[in-house]
Structure 1
Amino acid sequence: MQRLHNANVLIPSSMTAVTRHPFFRSPRSMLVALSLVIGAGAGLGAVVFRWMIEGLTHLFTGFADYAGQGSVPNPEVPWLGRWFVVLTPVVAGLLYGPLVHRFAREARGHGVPEVMLAVARNGGRIRPQVAVVKALASALCIGGGGSVGREGPIVQIGSALGSSLAQLCRLDERRIKLLVACGAAGGIAATFNAPLAGVFFAMEIILRGWEAESFGMVVLSSVTASVIGRGILGDNPFLTLPAFHVDHLVQYPLFALLGVVAGLVGVAFSRILYAVEDACDWAWRGPEWLRPAVGGVLLGLVLLVMPQMYGVGYPVLGHAVAGGYAIAFLLALLVGKIVACSLTIGIGGSGGVFAPSLFCGAMLGAAFGEIVQTVAPSAGGSVGAYALIGMGAVFAGAARAPITAVVILFELTGEYSIILPLMLGVVLATGVSHLVSRDTVYTRKLLRRGIDIDAEADGRAGPDRPGRLAATIAPLPGSVPDRRDLRSVADRFAGVDGAHLLVVDAEGRAVGWVREHEVEAALRREDAVSTTASRAGAERAVPPACAANG
């Protein structure tokens, strides 16, 4: 066995022999091979993850997808009536709460911010167990009624696979980050059956930049994942959408107005999401592993009132796009999804916010279309057209990823006629989001921890720039004394929402930053009681940049 440099991973000698093969001596050849392997793994992971969700949903409810069934009892326990939905989030929380708390706390929440942080600050390094824990926790959460999406989890699952293989092959940080993006692209591509959307999601949100080599490798991974997903699940989009067409030029100002409103709704979705999480943090005083189960009672009561919020909710979304709901009910579904999704994340659930933003957009757009139909039935156009524009625009307002928003709706419909109105609505939603908010639904989670992943672009201080901190800093909630033993340091991470802790000396001066995964690696090597954060050394507990500046 041979130890991997800077990653604390043991590499089998057989793996080392493989990487010495002449084919792998070319970095580009190795990247091509790994991108294909990661794409295949992400594609299979997306398929298995979908099967897990469907199986657990059937186990909890008696149906493969309960959201479209209405207030019906579980046929396996009919004596509970429709009240069984109050229990399913509690039972699921009792299972995934301890799992996440014990093995991978970064699997809590919607996942994409953790991947963005790993790429921007941690050299793309993601622990291998994250993939397994995230898959199990998210499948249990969604199957048990969590009103979140499967896209965020599969991004984190695919990214963890890409990171693990890259570290196993002893690649540098730039290529580790690239293969993380390959895993994310493959996961999105296989989940949505949308290879282009996978590519642009990875480039626009994960890598946050464009390079020819990166683009090529991400495309290979995305295509591979799509081929595998289509081969197993069939060549069908995850959602059947109506034909799209623009009947009158007067519709373009209406699409523009919808884009503006959708941008505001996207920002509101992000703000409410984190406001509810703050409220849950303030209210909860018990152990973190028990939080999803206790909070599951509140989520169950929401599902009792509005069972359409159970799980991802694609059947409800499809029915709304087809014009099957009245205006008042569409608005109720919009508010209900924001509340149910925010509560799921707030109580410690695991799942994505991509699909909920599309759901909210569809409800908003369909309601807007119904209003237009009432006012101008001859010139308004179809309700489905507005629902589609709303889907892309609300996501763009929340995530500020306009290219991804346009591409994914284009792939779902397969109609070129959607491009012009969709671009109009999406760009206006993105612009409104920029005007009223400096963050997105993904970056806001990091900014709340004091982490600005854009800091390098403008020179602001961040976790990798402790030398720019003030000379004296009072101990913060996210700080730890430099003489604290490693076991206590590891326990300290349980009380903070972040992957870093500020290390301070006896006088309260900042001496560096310690990262959770580095503390865990040190615990595997050292005496957890006698070794302190200081004795662990800069090369073990504090990043080299911190050691140099501290």
Structure 2
Amino acid sequence: MVLLRRRARRGVALRSWVRGSEVAIVALAALIGGAVGLLAWGMGAAARGLHMLLFGIGPQFRLSSATFVPSWRLLLVPMLGGLALFALNLALKRWRPKPPVDPIEANALHGGRLSLTDAAVVGVQTILSNGVGASVGLEAGYAQAGGGIASRLGTAFALRRGDLRVLVGAGTAGAIGAAFDAPLTGAFYAFELVIGTYSIGALFPVIASAVTATLVARGLEAGTYAVESVAPSVVDNALYPLALLLGALCGLAAILLMRGVASTEALLSRAIPSAALRLMLGGLCVGGLATVSTVALSAGHGALHLAFITETPARLVLLLIVVKALASMVSVASGFRGGLFFASLLIGALGGKFFAALVAMAAPPGPDPLVMALVGMSAFGAAVIGAPLAMTFLALETTGSLAVVGLVLAAVAVAGLIVRRLFGYSFATWRFHLRGESIRGAHDIGWINDLTAGRLMRRDPRSVPEAMELAAFRAAVPLGAATQVVLLDADGRYAGIVAVAEAHAAPPETATLAELARHQDRVLLPRTNVRDAMAIFEAAEAEALAVVDGPARRVLGLLTEAHLLRRYGEEVEKRRREETGIGPG
């Protein structure tokens, strides 16, 4: 018993030290990075193992660039893989009926709380989807694993909400850094998509995780999604207008792709109610496209490597773009698990090469196709993924050329601006929107939903019958005894609010309180969040509103606008301090 108490005290002391030490959180992030690097290697190896087993390719080949896969494998493996995924989903649904929460959603709504079980579920689903050839990447599984491990450790150490959100971002940074052998790309992926903001306090744990995970993956020779390219160290300034034009075209094309996924999904859901048949048909369609070109299969990193090192006629490049885009849309829309991260890089790179070929036809010799491929890859990726700086750093870590990065940054900015103004979503937030979630990014809005009228209201408001005579009210509620009084009808339901000062100043001909009642039709519900409540107060021009239980209109409490604004301001300041690291959370 004494030993158990000592262990408990040590555990409490350790948690207190981690919660209060920035160095400890950085060390925890590095530990997470090591685990995530190992996991990324394992997931990539598992997917490649399925490629070799199911499609009969050698370990030296990549599925999307293989040219000798028999047609029967191309058709049957994705289709039967869709059936296998349906069976897996059915089994998982009985065990885990609630849909998984991804790191962006967790940081936006749940303060960084993410289930490790969800990470395992998404990981298995993405490995199977990618392994049977569906045109999806493993990025969702990588990010889910990194965020899940980070959230579990952070919760074990009872980290504050702000620190836990940063740690989840650090986990995803390590996952993406290890997957692409690009720590800066992973770090800024976390800042832009998972944490939602950049701060000095978040920099150290995110970088620690990204670098550690990348080093572990390199040590294991993972290189799952490593992008390799050689670019010139000097570029002509005349290429900047072309980069801006290519960025604009990438932005418009990205919107078409994202809307295409949603439209295809809606069409398949209406036409084929059975999830099993949708997955099998989706797999068959991907297999059919693969008979045209294997670029349709899997994430496409083999095809991207070939796009950088080979010369391809413009017609063939256009065909590859169409094949990959259709395969990606059908794969995601039919229910295969995964994202468009790597597919968008491949489509963008091919689009850049096609753009260079068109310019060369109009004004020979045209720009360097490799440079335009890098620009297109980054611009289209930024437009779809919603992480412009991450894509810029990917180009830098891919090429090591600062000159090319200037072109990339210009194109990425234009593509991002067009998507932001004309569409307003990245692919991830677009999927949230289709599910009915009002999430535009990973900015912490969960506390807004937690700060409700039910939590803020005063639970014992003064109430009187609406039929009460004015003289009796003045005697029962003198000036200074209360500011607002709730009126109730004969059945005890809400009937309005009366200001005590107004009741005492009312003219003698006023018989009952009902004549002074205000806001009879303006009420708050217990689950009304703080922002919605502020909008209701502004529309009603009220100083106080009643909180009722719904249609029964039973009064639960009273909330004043002054208290609402004060509590909102306190929470905003608290989040600001957490993000900037200038005070306790």
Matches for 1:189-200 after TM superposition, within 5 Å: 189-200=177-188
Q: 2:174 aligns with which of 186, 197, 204?
A: 186
Q: Residue deviations 1:517-544, cap 9 Å, x none?
A: xxxxxxxxxxxxxxxxxxxxxxxxxxxx
Residue 84 of structure 2 aligns to which amino acid in structure 1?
A: L
Instruction: Find the counterpart in structure 2 of residue 528 from structure 1.
Output: none
Residue 320 of structure 1 aligns to which amino acid in structure 2?
A: A
Q: Residue deviations 1:277-326, cap 9 Å, x none?
A: 2222222322x466434532333223233322111112212222234221
Q: Please state how far the C-alpha of 1:129 moved relative to its aligned partner.
A: 1.3
435-444 or 382-391, which moves further after superposition?
A: 435-444
Instruction: Find the counterpart in structure 2 of residue 280 from structure 1.
Output: 268
Instruction: Find the counterpart in structure 1 of residue 312 from structure 2.
Output: 325
Larger Rg: 2
Q: Structure 2 vs 1, CA of residues 301 and 17 (structure 1 numbering), >3 Å: closer, same or farther?
A: farther
Q: Please state how far the C-alpha of 1:138 moved relative to its aligned partner.
A: 1.0
Residue 242 of structure 1 aligns to which amino acid in structure 2?
A: V
Instruction: Find the counterpart in structure 1 of residue 323 from structure 2.
Output: 336
**8 Å contact from structure 1 (residues 103, 129) kept in 2:** no
Q: Please state how far the C-alpha of 1:327 moved relative to its aligned partner.
A: 0.9
Q: 2:13 aligns with which of 9, 20, 25?
A: 20
Matches of 2:9 and 2:77, distance apart in 1:
47
Q: 1:177 aligns with which of 165, 172, 189?
A: 165
Residue 364 of structure 1 aligns to which amino acid in structure 2?
A: G
The question of 1:140 aligning with 2:137 is answered no
Instruction: Find the counterpart in structure 2 of residue 300 from structure 1.
Output: 287
Extract unaligned runs of 5+ from structure 2: 455-523, 529-563, 565-585
Extract unaligned runs of 5+ from structure 1: 1-11, 74-80, 469-508, 514-544, 546-550
Matches of 1:251 and 1:129, distance apart in 2:
48
Matches of 1:345 and 1:128, distance apart in 2:
23
Q: Please state how far the C-alpha of 1:171 moved relative to its aligned partner.
A: 2.2
**8 Å contact from structure 1 (residues 89, 300) kept in 2:** yes
Q: Structure 2 vs 1, CA of residues 464 and 335 (structure 1 numbering), >3 Å: closer, same or farther?
A: farther
Give the fraction of aligned pairs with identical amino acids, expressed as a percent: 27
Matches of 2:283 and 2:198, distance apart in 1:
41
The question of 1:90 aligning with 2:87 is answered no
Q: 1:58 aligns with which of 49, 52, 75?
A: 52
Q: Please state how far the C-alpha of 1:147 moved relative to its aligned partner.
A: 0.5
Q: Residue deviations 1:473-509, cap 9 Å, x none?
A: xxxxxxxxxxxxxxxxxxxxxxxxxxxxxxxxxxxx9
Matches of 1:131 and 1:193, distance apart in 2:
21
Q: 2:140 aligns with which of 152, 174, 181?
A: 152
Instruction: Find the counterpart in structure 1 of residue 571 from structure 2.
Output: none
**8 Å contact from structure 2 (residues 179, 224) kept in 1:** no
Q: Please state how far the C-alpha of 1:149 moved relative to its aligned partner.
A: 1.5
Q: Please state how far the C-alpha of 1:159 moved relative to its aligned partner.
A: 0.8
Q: 1:67 aligns with which of 45, 64, 68?
A: 64
- How many equivalent residue pairs? 454
Q: Structure 2 vs 1, CA of residues 140 and 13 (structure 1 numbering), >3 Å: closer, same or farther?
A: farther
**8 Å contact from structure 2 (residues 79, 282) kept in 1:** yes
Matches of 1:194 and 1:13, distance apart in 2:
44
The question of 1:31 aligning with 2:16 is answered no
Q: Please state how far the C-alpha of 1:98 moved relative to its aligned partner.
A: 3.2
Residue 285 of structure 1 aligns to which amino acid in structure 2?
A: P
**8 Å contact from structure 1 (residues 107, 134) kept in 2:** no
Residue 236 of structure 2 aligns to which amino acid in structure 1?
A: H
Q: Residue deviations 1:165-218, cap 9 Å, x none?
A: 212222232222111111100000000000001110000111111221111111
Matches of 2:142 and 2:96, distance apart in 1:
11
Q: Please state how far the C-alpha of 1:13 moved relative to its aligned partner.
A: 10
The question of 1:226 aligning with 2:223 is answered no
Q: Residue deviations 1:236-264, cap 9 Å, x none?
A: 98122132355533222111211111111
TM-score by length of 1: 0.75
TM-score by length of 2: 0.71
Matches of 1:105 and 1:213, distance apart in 2:
41
Instruction: Find the counterpart in structure 2 of residue 259 from structure 1.
Output: 247
Q: Please state how far the C-alpha of 1:360 moved relative to its aligned partner.
A: 0.9
Residue 317 of structure 2 aligns to which amino acid in structure 1?
A: L
* Secondary structure of 2:158 counterpart: coil
Q: Structure 2 vs 1, CA of residues 283 and 420 (structure 1 numbering), >3 Å: closer, same or farther?
A: same
